[in-house]
Amino acid sequence: MNNYREIRADYDRSTIVVYQAYNDAIADAAVKAQKFVAPFSMNRMTWIKPSLLWLMERSGWGTKSNQERILAVRITRAGWDRCLQKGVLTAFDGSIHRSIEQWREEFQSAAVHVQWDPERSIHGKKLEYRSIQVGLSRSVIARYVNEWTREIKDLTQLTRKLRDLRKAGKYGEAKRLLPSECVYEVDDQTSQRLGLKMQA
């Protein structure tokens, strides 16, 4: 059996790293202030992802419009755990929700959305397990920005290097530059709520 859904991340005893991709204006301001400030918007949902390779795939390895700058945001684990506890899946799952109506009601009022997408390898291929991405609504973003964020690093140069190594076929060398991401355990209630489960 393989872990169908699992959270893998770069974390320590008190913090965890999540990744986001932005344009120059937002990234420059955030790195300088070490928190998200204008022109970052507090009035729209923002998505955070603990898998760097998933974000690389999503941003076209830093080549898509308005996603050229890759940021590593170190936040408190307490904040991350709170997001997971509040999370509602973006799709109905009959093994979790009693009915579509119940899921729809929870989803529409949820402060945090959770989506599972196929994890990617350094080659860009889909892996057997799915990686989590977490959407923070306006009611949660303020805490993310003002309370939970501990550090913001600009990984744009690393992204370019990884992109060049992949283009040259040096996948092993590129993989050695990636952060170490280990399985992140959650409590049983959160696990059930988010559908972390085994698949044969």
**Residues 77 and 14: beta-carbon distance below 8 Å:** yes
DSSP three-state, residue 39: coil
Whose tokens are 């009601």? That residue is: 105
For the cut 70, the answer to whether the pLDDT of residue 199 exceeds it is: no
Q: What is the DSSP string of 165-185?
A: HHHTT-HHHHHHTSPP-EE--
Q: Where are the alpha helices (DSSP H) in the chain?
A: 24-33, 52-58, 77-86, 100-109, 138-143, 156-167, 171-176, 188-194
Q: What is the pLDDT of residues 112-121, one digit of tens each?
A: 999 999 999 9
Q: What is the mean pLDDT of the chain?
A: 94
For the cut 50, the answer to whether the pLDDT of residue 54 exceeds it is: yes
pLDDT for res 95:
85
Q: What is the pLDDT of residues 9-48, one digit of tens each?
A: 999 999 999 999 999 999 999 999 999 999 999 999 999 9
Burial class (CB within 10 angstroms; exposed 0-12, middle 13-18, buried 19+) of 168: exposed
pLDDT for res 57:
95
| Rounded Cα gap, residues 142 and 28, in angstroms | 19
Q: What is the pLDDT of residues 61-103, one digit of tens each?
A: 999 999 999 999 999 999 999 999 999 999 998 888 889 999 9
Among 177, 183, 143, smallest CA distance to 160 is for 177
| Rounded Cα gap, residues 179 and 170, in angstroms | 17
pLDDT for res 200:
39
Q: What is the DSSP secondary structure assignment for residue 129, as one 8-state letter?
A: E
Cis, peptide link before residue 39, omega less than 30° from 0? yes
Among 120, 101, 132, 103, smallest CA distance to 9 is for 132
pLDDT for res 128:
87
Q: What is the pLDDT of residues 132-158, one digit of tens each?
A: 999 999 999 999 999 999 999 999 999
For the cut 70, the answer to whether the pLDDT of residue 2 exceeds it is: no
